[in-house]
Amino acid sequence: MGLTSHKVLALSALVSLLLVAGTVWLWPKLARSGWAAVCGRIATILATQLAVMCTLGLLANNSFAFYSSWDDLLGTADNGPVTIQNQFADGRRTAGIQQIAHENVRGTNTVGRDPALVGKLERIRIPGAATGLSTDGYVYLPPQYFQPGYEDKKFPAVIAITGFPGDAKNLVSKLNYPATELQQLREGKMKPTVLVLMRPSPAMPRDTECEDVPGGPRAETYFAEDVPAAVRGSYRVTAAPGGLGLVGNSTGGYCALKLAMKHPDVYSAAVSLSGYYRAAEDPTTGDLFGGQQQRRNEADLSWRLANLPHPGVALLVGGSREGDGDYFASTEQFIAAAKGGPTKVSSITLETGGHNFNTWNRMLPASLGWLAGHLTDPA
C-alpha cells in the first residue's frame, strides 16, 4: 500500500484506537509495583504515542503533499536521468555586494579547496540601490572563473530562489547547487555559470511573493533591478541580453516564472521546480495588491498568458504527475495557455514526487543544464 493510500491512513488510525483502548484496559493490571508493571506502563505509553504520531503525520502528509511514496520519504526514489519535454520543435550607480565569508564547496567530488578546481562559494549580502532592501545569500563562482585564459571573460549568471520561508542556505545544504553545477561541468553537461543563491523575500518575515506591494516593500523591483545591478557590479557577469536566468523551488519557482515573464529584457529564461502560478494570499503575505483586482490578476501567470501579450522567454516547469496536490493540473493549464506564442515552455514530469527537496534534487541537474543552455555565453 502506498504512503498516501487511504488504506494506510485507516490502518494507522485503527491501530491507534486499538492501542488506546488496550492501554485503558491494561492500565489497572499494570498499576502495581515492580519492574514488570513499570516496564509495561512505559511500553503502552510509547506504543500509543508512536501510533498517534504516525497517524497525525500521515494526515499532514496527505494534506500538504510533502512525500508521495515510501521511496520518496526514505530518499530511495529513482535517481535516473529525467527527460525535458519541449513545447516547440526546434546611468545609476550600483550598490556593491558585501562579502561576509567564504565557505567550502561541499560534495563527494569536491575534494580540495583550490578555486580553479572546485570554484568558490561566498556568503554575501545583496543591498538594493533602488529599493533600500537587502538580503543575505550566497554566490558560487565556477572553477573557470579562476583559471588562466578566463581572466577577461564575463559569465552568464543564474539567480536561484528557494521557497518561503526557507533560508538561502537550503540551496547549499539541501539542494547543493554548487556541487550540482560542478558535477555538470565535469560531465560536460552545462557551461560555466555564476550562481546567486537567495531567499524569496527581501522583507522577512513577510512573504512578498516577489511583488511590489503598494505602500510596502518593492520586492519585484529588488529582484528585477537591484540584484542584477549588484551582481554585475561585483562580479564578472555579462550585461549582454540573454545573460541572466532564474530558477526556484515552490515560492521561488513562482517568483522565477513571474520575474522572467514580466521582465524579459532582464531575464531571458527561467526554471520552476514545483512552483505555483498565482500569488499566495495568507497571513504571511498580508494584502499584496492594495485591494486592486487588476494587480491580483496580473500576478496570476495563467491569466497573464490568456489576457496579455506573451513575452519572448524560455521557461521550464518541473514537477510530478502525482503526489504534489493540484500541481500537474495547473501546469497543464499553464502550458496550454502558452502554446502558439513567443513564450516557449518545456517541462519535466516525474510520475510521483512530493513537495520536497527529494523531488527537486531529482530534477536539478537537468534543469541547470537546460537553463545554462538558454543563456548567452559571450566569448
80 CB-near residues (< 8 Å, 6+ apart): none
On whether both 56 and 88 belong to a single domain, the answer is: no
- Per-residue pLDDT at 88: 45
Three-state secondary structure string covering 175-207: CCHHHHHHHHHHCCCCCCCEEEEECCCCCCCCC
Residue 326, C-alpha cell as written in the block: 493540484
Residue type (1 letter), 288? L
Domain annotation covers residue 379: no
Contact 313, 272 (CB under 8 A): no
Domain annotation covers residue 337: yes
Residue 317, C-alpha cell as written in the block: 516547469
Where does a domain end: 14, 29, 64?
Answer: 64
Residue type (1 letter), 33? S
Residue 285, C-alpha cell as written in the block: 503575505
On whether both 27 and 172 belong to a single domain, the answer is: no
The one-digit pLDDT tens for each residue of the chain (379 residues) are: 777 678 888 888 898 898 888 888 888 877 777 888 888 888 888 989 898 988 888 887 665 545 656 765 665 555 555 555 555 444 333 456 766 666 666 554 444 578 999 999 999 999 999 999 999 999 999 999 999 999 999 999 999 999 998 889 999 989 999 999 999 999 999 999 999 999 999 999 999 999 999 999 999 999 999 999 999 999 999 999 999 999 999 999 999 999 999 999 999 999 999 999 999 988 999 999 999 999 999 999 999 999 999 999 999 999 999 888 889 999 999 999 999 889 999 999 999 998 999 999 999 999 999 999 999 877 5
Domain annotation covers residue 70: no
On whether both 12 and 140 belong to a single domain, the answer is: no
Range of the domain at 266: 84-373
Interatomic CA distance for residues 260 and 210, integer angstroms:
12
Domain annotation covers residue 74: no
Only one residue has cell 537567495, namely: 198
Domain annotation covers residue 76: no
On whether both 253 and 130 belong to a single domain, the answer is: yes
Residue 33, C-alpha cell as written in the block: 509495583
Q: Which of 125, 298, 105 is nearest to 199 (CA)?
A: 125
- Per-residue pLDDT at 92: 38
Interatomic CA distance for residues 187 and 33, integer angstroms:
67
User: What is the count of structural domains for the chain?
Assistant: 2
CB atoms within 10 A of CB 137: 28
- Per-residue pLDDT at 38: 82
- Per-residue pLDDT at 66: 57
On whether both 116 and 149 belong to a single domain, the answer is: yes
Domain annotation covers residue 14: yes
On whether both 57 and 167 belong to a single domain, the answer is: no
Interatomic CA distance for residues 371 and 9, integer angstroms:
40
Domain annotation covers residue 105: yes
Contact 193, 181 (CB under 8 A): yes
On whether both 60 and 88 belong to a single domain, the answer is: no
On whether both 234 and 316 belong to a single domain, the answer is: yes
Question: Residues for the chain: how many in total?
Answer: 379
> What is the three-class DSSP state of 264?
coil
On whether both 243 and 314 belong to a single domain, the answer is: yes
Residue 6, C-alpha cell as written in the block: 487511504
Element (H, E) at 35: helix 35-64
Q: In 250-270, which positions are buried (b, 16+ CB within 10 angstroms) versus exposed (e)?
A: bbbbbbbbbbbbbbbebbbbb
On whether both 54 and 92 belong to a single domain, the answer is: no
Residue 319, C-alpha cell as written in the block: 514537477
Domain annotation covers residue 1: no
On whether both 20 and 90 belong to a single domain, the answer is: no
On whether both 57 and 98 belong to a single domain, the answer is: no
